[in-house]
Amino acid sequence: MGRPLFYDIIEKPATSCIVTICSVIWFVIQKKSIGYSQVGLSYDTAVEGHYWRMITSALSHISVLHLVFNMSALWSLGVVEQLGHIGLGTAYYLHYTLLLIVFSGVLVIGIYHLLIARFNIDYFRRVTAVGYSCVVFGWMTILSVKQPSSKLDLFGLLSLPISFAPFESLIFTSIIVPQASFLGHLSGILVGYAISWGLIGGMNNYWALTMLGWIIVVFVFSLKKSGAYDFSFLEIESLSDASLPSVRFIGNGRTLQASAVPLSGVDVV
């Protein structure tokens, strides 16, 4: 008789929460018939200021097979939470999951920009990414460096040596699923190597909470500014001069206004 699932859930609390969140979001997407273009991330939507899509695209899955594949791989990679004795563990998992979501999204948009601006490949303006695969590939890569003796189990049927799993999975998904985002998966792998080699590091509770706070702020403001969702308590007014926009929080008769002093001698890019 196998080990009860309850014990795995207790030992992988962060992984369990992420799997639950992604599953609930998938159910809502199916229930409300939401299309991938409404939640996915593309170059054009990023340029238009839809920064909130960096989060919704990572947590959304359109098909049940896509969800099952990603969550099965993520569940196996949740072993990171059980490796506190080698400097990993639940806190490490949460800290660098935030980094993987944001940095892999920024990197893939940067790659799209290079291909569009340098090589005039306009096709990548419309490519829309959806799914948690970037983060999954990132954790595959981190685990392959930190714990190369580990195995990646998929669906409880297929077991891959973790040291080769990132590139094996990259090739496998590109062949089996033609719509799979090769550049998106590659971005996750590159960010994973940057984290595991110490090029991106220093995360602790303070920096993780600070980063989470900024993610929430950018998420809410970009939702409001792009018109995707109307927050009645928040008003953003664009000014005609070069100063920053004024921001008002409306409620209880109080108004907070942030106005900026025009900059001089500075090139704003």
What pLDDT, on a 0 to 100 scale, did the predictor assign at position 69? 87
Provide CB contacts within 8 A for 39, sequence distance 6+: 29, 53, 56, 57, 60, 130
What pLDDT, on a 0 to 100 scale, did the predictor assign at position 103? 96
What pLDDT, on a 0 to 100 scale, did the predictor assign at position 173? 76
What pLDDT, on a 0 to 100 scale, did the predictor assign at position 250? 45
CA distances, 151 to each of 12, 67, 159, 242 (Å): 16, 21, 6, 55
Q: Are strands 158-161 and 151-154 parallel, antiparallel or unpaired?
A: antiparallel
**Helical (H) or strand (E) element with 10:** helix 5-11
- Gap between the Cα atoms of 95 and 102, Å rounded: 12
Yes or no: domain 5-226 corresponds to CATH 1.10.510.10: no
What pLDDT, on a 0 to 100 scale, did the predictor assign at position 229? 73
190 residue type, one letter = L
Catalytic (active-site) positions: 133, 185
Q: What is the DSSP letter of 62?
A: S
Q: What is the DSSP letter of 248?
A: E
**Helical (H) or strand (E) element with 93:** helix 90-119
Helices assigned H by DSSP within 121-257: 133-146, 165-176, 182-196, 205-226
Along the chain (269 residues), what's the average pLDDT of each consecutive run of 10 residues?
Answer: 73 96 96 92 94 95 89 92 92 96 96 95 91 94 88 66 77 75 92 94 92 95 84 56 47 39 33
- Backbone torsions φ then ψ of 266, nearest 5 degrees: -125, 130
